[in-house]
Structure 1
Amino acid sequence: MGKYGLIDLEKHFAFYGAYHNNSINILIHMIFVWPIFFTACLILYFTPPLFNLPRVELSLFGDDVALLFNLGFFLVLIYAIFYICLDPKAGSLAALLCAFCWVASCFVASWLGFSLAWKVIFLFPFLFWCYS
């Protein structure tokens, strides 16, 4: 079913099942992985663009934002490819969620600015730790 080596799907599921055998633990991971990934994309928005690639300008609700091809984009790209290699069907959904986190973090980062985004990034995980 899976491939050999790093992207051996059966091996990953066996490890995940052995490590996360509690259904509440599994649910918590499924819910909170994406906000953590979002905050990583949010802070990486402020890294400089790589390779002088052009930026993509978008406008939503009257706010203009630039999608930068920086370290955050390449993190999303690596994770998206990894998830698709694990399982094309479920991995495609995870890849779309990764892309959504990147685009949403670009909008939030451009709206908040650097100094306020740092405060949100430090406060955001604390809220989840308190309620989980």
Structure 2
Amino acid sequence: MGKGLLDLEKHFAFYGAYHSNRINIAIHMVFVWPIFFTALLMLYFTPSLFNLPHLNFFLFGNHFVLVLNFGFLLALIYSVFYVCLDVKAGSLAALLCAICWVASSFIASRLGFSLAWKVVLVAQILCWTVQFIGHGIFEGRAPALLDNLVQAFIMAPFFVLLEVHNFILISRIPLPLQTMLYNWYFKLLQALQTFFGYEPYSGFHAIVQAKIEAEINEWQDQKQKLIS
């Protein structure tokens, strides 16, 4: 169990206390990773940080260049941090970070800066706006970024992956569809053995759920005191 910045149990409980409504959770599942992706897309246009040859690739018959710039550095920092939080789930998140870096580099090279910054601006405004709506209307609580910027910008993509399991449990999804989702993700995430039901360690979800409920109760008590 990690301590401080790497205390997965503590941070996931804090995150869960702000994301207990199934609609709000679904919104974050859809809109958190695009924020990271479009940030990498914009950072593609930053200069190289290392005096190394660029990496040339072909994708769908199109040539593009991978540059070891601030986009690469951001993806690397996120990847290393996630692996430090939890090796198995963190490795999956690190793989997704790498895929985002490569894919965003490809798209950025095709769009060019003059169009890319407009796409990024629209995407960022849309993603952040929808998440604020999710908190304001469905969760009924201000987003965590107002209390913990580090968690909002660095940990959220990782926690979204861990939330997929909880989302299916609390959602009223028909059993056949649940089965299909489980099977689809099982094939995608074989490196994690079985992603759904995965715990960083035995009893993790139970401990975190208890902390989430305690955090929510404390917030509700404080809110009630302010009202009275």
TM (norm. structure 1) is 0.91
Amino acid at match of 2:66: L
Shift of 1:28: 1.4
Which 5+ residue runs of structure 1 have no aligned equivalent? none
Q: Deviations over 1:63-120 (max 9, x none)?
A: 1111000000000000011111111111111111111110001000100001010111
CA distance in 2, matches of 1:63, 1:84: 32
The match for 1:92 is 91
Whether the aligned pair in 1 keeps the contact of 2:45 and 2:113 (CA below 8 Å) is: yes
- Seq. identity, %: 66
Q: In the alignment, is residue 58 of structure 1 matched against residue 52 of structure 2?
A: no
The match for 1:16 is 15
CA distance in 2, matches of 1:50, 1:22: 42
Q: Deviations over 1:27-81 (max 9, x none)?
A: 2112211111110000000000002122110011221111000000000000011
Q: Across the two proteins, how many residue pairs are aligned to each other?
A: 131
CA distance in 2, matches of 1:17, 1:124: 25
> Which secondary structure state, in structure 1, belongs to the residue aligned with residue 58 of structure 2?
strand
Which 5+ residue runs of structure 2 have no aligned equivalent? 134-228
The match for 1:68 is 67
CA distance in 1, matches of 2:86, 2:11: 11
The match for 2:47 is 48
TM (norm. structure 2) is 0.54
Amino acid at match of 1:7: L
CA distance in 2, matches of 1:9, 1:89: 13
Whether the aligned pair in 1 keeps the contact of 2:27 and 2:130 (CA below 8 Å) is: no
Amino acid at match of 1:82: F
CA distance in 2, matches of 1:18, 1:53: 45
